[in-house]
Structures are given as C-alpha cells and as structure tokens.
Homo-oligomer: A and B are copies of this chain.
Amino acid sequence: MVEHPSRTKLVDAAIDLVRGKGYNAMRVEDVCAAAGVTKGSFFHHFKAKDDLALAAADAWRERARGLCDTVSAARYPDPRDRLFAYLDLRRELIAGELVDWTCFAGTMIQEIHLTHPDLRDACQQSIAEHTGELAALIEAARRRHPVAGDWTADSLALHVQAVIQGALVLAKGRQDPAVAHQALDHLGRYVRQLFAAEGNAA
C-alpha cells in the first residue's frame, strides 16, 4: 500500500462528508463525487461503505495523534503552561467553516454506536488515544505543581474531551462556533484554577 491517490482522496472526502452531514446521510456516490473518482474505483479500494469508514477512522486517529505535541515543548518548557496552551489552541481551532472544526469520531460515535459496534470501537480508539496523550500531559503538570481537589489526570483529560465534544454539539445546534468558545472559556478557567492552588498564581 504505497500512496494510492484515489484511495487517499476517498478517505479524505469521507472524513469531510461525515464531519458535515454524518455517516448515514453520506452516500457512496457523494464520496466518489467529492473525491473525483467513480464507484468502480471506490469498490476496488473498499469492499463496502463500512470499510471506508473504518479506514477514515484510522486516518482520523492519525491526524489527531500528536495534536498535543503541536504545542511545542520548546516554547512551553513547563508542562502546565503547555496544557494551558493546548486548551487555548483547541479553542482557536473552533473557527471558520463547520466542516473544519467538527470531530469525525464524535459525530460517528453518536450516530452508529449501537448499529455498528466495530466502527464505534475504531472511533472510540481515536478518542481514547488522544485522551491518553492529554492525560500524560496533565500528569506531567501535576507532578511539577500542586493542585486543588481530589482528581486523576485521566478523569480531567476525559472532562476536557467532554467539554469539547459537547461544545461542538451546541455549536452545531446554533450554527455558530461562538457558543463553543464560551464553554471552552469556562474550561480554561477551571483547569487554571485547579493548578493555581495554594499561592501558585502564574
């Protein structure tokens, strides 16, 4: 499997379409049209629609991998500051066209969690992997700074994901990313509060 431009284009198109209209509303012909190929090509690369979705979930996981590292460790040597910067980044990423800030995995899960267990697990893995990276960052920050309250790095990472996913749902409802920003503002305030305990103001 060395590149295959058609295949890659199909996967990318599928991700975009799912992010916009969801999985069930996305027809294979839509994907083909968006990718600029025909159905023959589609079913040459994928044996079924679900197969494409699986590939798309993998591609999405790949995209999400290392998102934490986007916030350079060089610029923010302190993991706590890196965590704050990460939250700010996530906030800023929610802007512009809807299809650009929507989460493929979250959209898929909500729609097919009962009907397509294998697909659900693939998408879940994508989220879990990212949450794991975030938890590691939180844990690093925790080791270097005192924190308020009794909580684990895993649970806070989960909470962050929840706020983001929920903010996206609300933003879709209002057709306006601004509501997501409000939620992320509160999240930022909360996390900073947790790490600003006991006279540790930044």
Given contacts A170-B127, A172-B109, A173-B113, contact A25 B25 (CB under 8 A): no
A183 near B158 with CB under 8 A, answer yes
| Closest partner residue, chain B, to A103 (CB atom) | B169
B161 near A124 with CB under 8 A, answer no
Q: Which residues of B contact A161 (CB under 8 A)?
A: 166, 170
Q: Which residues of B contact A109 (CB under 8 A)?
A: 169, 172-173
Tell me whether A41 is interfacial, beta carbon within 8 Å.
Answer: no
B123 near A185 with CB under 8 A, answer no
A186 near B169 with CB under 8 A, answer no
| Alpha-carbon distance between A186 and B147 when the two chains are bound, in angstroms | 14
| Closest partner residue, chain B, to A111 (CB atom) | B22
Tell me whether A68 is interfacial, beta carbon within 8 Å.
Answer: no
| Alpha-carbon distance between A161 and B163 when the two chains are bound, in angstroms | 9
Partner of A165, one of B155, B170, B186: B170
Tell me whether A15 is interfacial, beta carbon within 8 Å.
Answer: no
A155 to chain B minimum Cβ distance, whole angstroms, is 4
| Alpha-carbon distance between A107 and B169 when the two chains are bound, in angstroms | 9
Question: Which residue among A113, A164, A169 has the maximum number of chain B CB atoms within 10 Å of its CB?
Answer: A169
Of the stretches A70-78, A85-93, A174-182, the one at the interface is A174-182
A159 near B187 with CB under 8 A, answer yes
B155 near A185 with CB under 8 A, answer yes
Partner of A173, one of B115, B123, B186: B123
A127 near B162 with CB under 8 A, answer no
Partner of A162, one of B25, B105, B106, B167: B167
Tell me whether A38 is interfacial, beta carbon within 8 Å.
Answer: no
Can you report 14 residue pairs joining A to B where beta carbons are below 8 Å apart?
A22-B24, A22-B110, A24-B24, A106-B169, A109-B169, A110-B169, A113-B175, A127-B173, A149-B189, A155-B185, A158-B182, A162-B163, A162-B170, A166-B168
